[in-house]
Amino acid sequence: MVKKIKQYSGYYGCDKCTQKGTWVAGRMTYPEVDNLTSRSNDTFRAEMTRRQENEETPVSPFLSLPLDMVEQFPIDYMHQACLGVMKKLLTVWVRGDRKVRMSAGQISNVTQRLLSLQKAIPSCFARKPRHLEDIDRWKATELRQFAVYTGKIVLKGILADQLYDHFMVFSVALSLLLCPTLAVEHNAYSKELMKYFIEKTGELYGEHFTVYNVHSMLHLPEEALAFGSLDACSGFPFENYLGKLKRLVRSGKQPLTQVVKRLVEMPKSPLSVKASKPKFKRPNNAFILHEGKCCEAIEEREESDDSGCQMLLCKLFEKTEPLFRDPRDSRILGCFKVQSRHAVMKLIPERQLTRQAIMVEKRDETIFLAILHEQR
Ligand SMILES: [Zn+2]
């Protein structure tokens, strides 16, 4: 809207490429994934100059600023991937076409699994998993939790195999783009996965499913590369801060004044990030170690290692296996399974605990999922 261009329902509705849409069953779809021409700042500005000369529709006021009119308007994965694609998939699994929806029994099984994960979700997550039946009320952060972490576990063996494998392609591609290191290292691979995901979407869910929202997944790898990771150009920090502002309002009277007064009273900006120290209680004490091992931090010890780093007593799982192998060995994402009987108690320097994780204990094995999104 602010760029004064066609929206997603138009024939050339993608603001990143020039694919002409195809009208299917009353909606505009973008099924192509290959040989697409990217838009650029130069082509965008040239088109706007043409419009101005011909006195066609008004142009965007942003044109007078030194902005890249394509690159500096990134696709926001909070809206497009979480509130968009993930919600769309969940909705058809719950109440879509008979070919792709789950039975009432299967939905209730997934819900039971989700609820049983509540105790495993660390406090850095704003919300715990809830009923699948509540899908219409799920917030973006819950949809991200499902897309990147819990979905992999709770759908396995319940959702039809080919739908599950297809979801995993999306989940892995998205997860890779959240971590700044992986987003660069595996960028081309993530793009291949997104291409496959979109192509297969038409086959599995029907051509009418490949709307702009699904198409835009193809451009997410470019955004991650340009900005460092998807969290560097997403709406999540904005939404989280809105949540914080909302909690400053205690009554319906003059809300703006209340917010301003409370912000002034605060000793420092509520946006400042605390350095996170390892915690020693479940569910906040699971970590991935730098060489692909997993541990639970048990307690802090007085001693430190040669370089002065604090030693922690940990329950260490040295023998780890990939949680899944398709579409790729899950260890690149920090997803492991371990056997509890192989754990040993060991002193480990704090700096080796590289990433916080979600730890899920099951009857015969324990699962570790590295937390990949930026926590702010
Ligand atoms: Zn496009």
Ligand 1 center–CA 338 separation, angstroms: 41
Ligand 1 center–CA 18 separation, angstroms: 7
Q: Which helix (H) or strand (E) holds 332?
A: none
The answer to whether residue 6 is domain-embedded is no
Ligand 1 center–CA 17 separation, angstroms: 4
The answer to whether residue 44 is domain-embedded is no
Regarding whether 319 and 181 lie in a shared domain, the answer is no
Regarding whether 184 and 299 lie in a shared domain, the answer is no
The answer to whether residue 299 is domain-embedded is yes
Ligand 1 center–CA 359 separation, angstroms: 37
The residue segments making up the domain with residue 249 are 236-265
The answer to whether residue 297 is domain-embedded is yes
Ligand 1 center–CA 10 separation, angstroms: 12
* pLDDT tens, residue order, the chain (376 aa): 899 888 888 899 999 999 999 999 999 999 999 999 999 999 999 999 998 899 878 899 999 999 999 999 999 999 999 999 999 999 999 999 999 999 999 999 999 999 999 999 999 998 999 999 999 999 999 999 999 999 999 999 999 999 999 999 999 999 999 999 999 999 999 999 999 999 999 999 999 999 999 999 999 999 999 999 999 999 999 988 888 888 899 998 999 999 999 888 876 654 544 456 678 999 999 999 988 899 999 999 988 888 889 999 999 999 999 999 999 999 999 999 999 888 999 999 999 999 999 999 988 899 999 999 988 6
Q: Which helix (H) or strand (E) holds 311?
A: strand 310-317
| Alpha-carbon dihedral 352, 368, 194, 45, rounded to 10 degrees | -50
Regarding whether 212 and 112 lie in a shared domain, the answer is yes
User: Which whole-number Å values give the CA distances from 243 to 211, 263, 310, 372, in the listed order?
Assistant: 30, 14, 35, 22
The answer to whether residue 245 is domain-embedded is yes
Which three-class secondary structure state does DSSP give residue 336?
Answer: strand
Q: Which residue has the tokens 């560097």?
A: 232
Domain count, the chain: 3
Regarding whether 177 and 145 lie in a shared domain, the answer is yes
Ligand 1 center–CA 251 separation, angstroms: 45
Regarding whether 157 and 132 lie in a shared domain, the answer is yes
Ligand 1 center–CA 190 separation, angstroms: 16
Q: Which residues surround ligand 1, an ion (CB under 5 A)?
A: 14, 16-17
